[in-house]
Structures are given as C-alpha cells and as structure tokens.
Amino acid sequence: MFGREKEMDLGLSAATGRPDPVPGSEPAAAAGPGEPYVPGRAALALFTLAVLAAGAFMFITVEGNAVDDPVKQAQRGEIATNDPLSLVREANLTRALRTLAGEIDEGGYIDSFRLAPTTINAIVVQPSGQRETVTINVAFETTSTDAGTGEGEGLQPSDIDPTAPERIIRVANRKFDLRPQNFDYMVANEPFDEGDESSWTAFWKLPLKDNDISAAADGTDVRPLGTPDAKTRAETKAAQEAASRAQREAAERSQCISRAETPEQIQRCLP
C-alpha cells in the first residue's frame, strides 16, 4: 500500500510507469473530419506580429503624410516668408491668382486682396453684386463665405503682379532692414483716382515702429508708408523747378528794366 501511494504521489502512470503529462501541456490533436482547426502558439504569434506590423506601417504612413502636408506645416508655423511653399513666392502666387480667377464670374472684380505667406484672403464682388470672402491656403484649396452685397470697381487677378511681393520684401530688407522672417502681410490697393495705378502696402511684425511701407504695383518705388509715390514726387519736382525758373526770369527782367534808359530798351526786357 505504501508503494502504491508513493507511485501516485510521483504521478506515475499505472500502465507505463512513466510520469503523467501536466494538464494543459498535451500536444494538440490533429483535427478530425468536420472538426475546427485550432491554431498553435507559433501561428498565433505570427498572426500577432503581422497585425502589429500592419498597424506600425499605417502609423508611419499617416505620420509621414502629416509631416509633408503643406496645410499641417502651415498650422505648425513651419512655412516662412521665403519658404518654397510660401504664397509670396512668384510661382505660388501665380497659381493662387489663377485659382482666384476661377472663383470670379465674368464681370466681377476683387474688392480687397490680402497676401500672407500661408493664406490669401480676398473679397470678390460678383456681377450680381454678391460679395464673397474667398480664402486660399498653401494647398491652393479655396473656401468661400457670404459677405453681403457691394458695387463699384476693383482689381482683376491680372492686375496683380505676382513678381511684386518678393521684390518688395527683398528691397525692404536692403533699404530699411525689414527682415523677411518678420514679414506679416501685404495688401493690394486699387487706384484712388482715374489714371492712377494700383499699389501695395506691406506690414512687418517687427520692429514695432516704422514697420510698414508702400510700393508700386510692380514692386518698385519701395518707400515708407505715407511718403509720396514716384509720380507725385516727379510732379512736385517739376512744379518746384518751374517756380524756380519763373523767379529767375522775373529777377532777370527786373534787372533789365532797371538798366533801361529808353522805352525801346524796356520793351526788349519784356517777354
């Protein structure tokens, strides 16, 4: 009896004398006809690895797309004034103006145009008088919202020179030490009077003073905001020269008359 108890304690098989298998460690039996296949541990591990790999690939793909997405880059503040994706650049502004032209019906016009490195905001007036605010982002996607009604005249997309903004920023940096990295936005202005040309007004975030300028439509005549444009300066200079010439001629006539001794000599002094 003692030996039997010892044999039972050791977990020996009565039939073979070998230790009984630990419960749950028996090898899976092959599935019989009509019975479902139960995967082993190796198959389950491979399946798990495949799922994890697929998830990692999807995560990397999504992250990669987010990194390269220009809209996401703009939201993260990664697009600077001179960045290749900046709307200030000639090629990008040219494309954006074509996009804007597609939003304006024939006979409509641009009532206001604001350009920043990552956004263009324009108010357009359709031939019907409907005003719309059109926004263009760095992916050249547009959104439009109602802005009431309006009438009058304004700019056409073809009136806006896509080479001007880069030229203005470059000249402002050289002449007034306004750094491109501090550039904020610029506005295209329609002519004030008949015969005038459109112009630009540009603003910088820093410095806090003297941080705004004006320029001609083609980006030339870059000058501090509030100073006369080239046309006005030329007209003023011509008027000053004419006044000086008139004063000089009057003084010469006065001297001539003072030296004259006869009516004939006085007559010769007069124009």
Domain ranges of the chain: 49-78, 80-227, 231-269
φ/ψ of residue 23, rounded to 5:
-55, 135
- pLDDT digit string (tens) for 186-221? 999 998 777 678 999 999 999 999 999 999 999 999
- Residue 154 CA, chain-centre distance (Å), reads 23
Q: Where are the alpha helices (DSSP H) in the chain?
A: 2-9, 41-68, 70-75, 90-101, 164-176, 230-259, 263-269
Question: What 3-state DSSP class applies to 261?
Answer: coil
Residues 6 or more apart in contact with residue 215 via CB below 8 angstroms:
164, 168, 171, 199, 200, 201, 202, 221, 222, 223
Residue written as tokens 């200079």?
237
Give the model's pLDDT for residue 197: 83
Report whether 117 contacts 136 (CB < 8 A): no
Q: Is the pLDDT of residue 167 over 50?
A: yes
pTM for the model: 0.69
Report whether 213 contacts 202 (CB < 8 A): yes
**In the 8-state DSSP scheme, what is residue 156?**
-
pLDDT band at 38 (very low <50, low <70, confident <90, very high): low
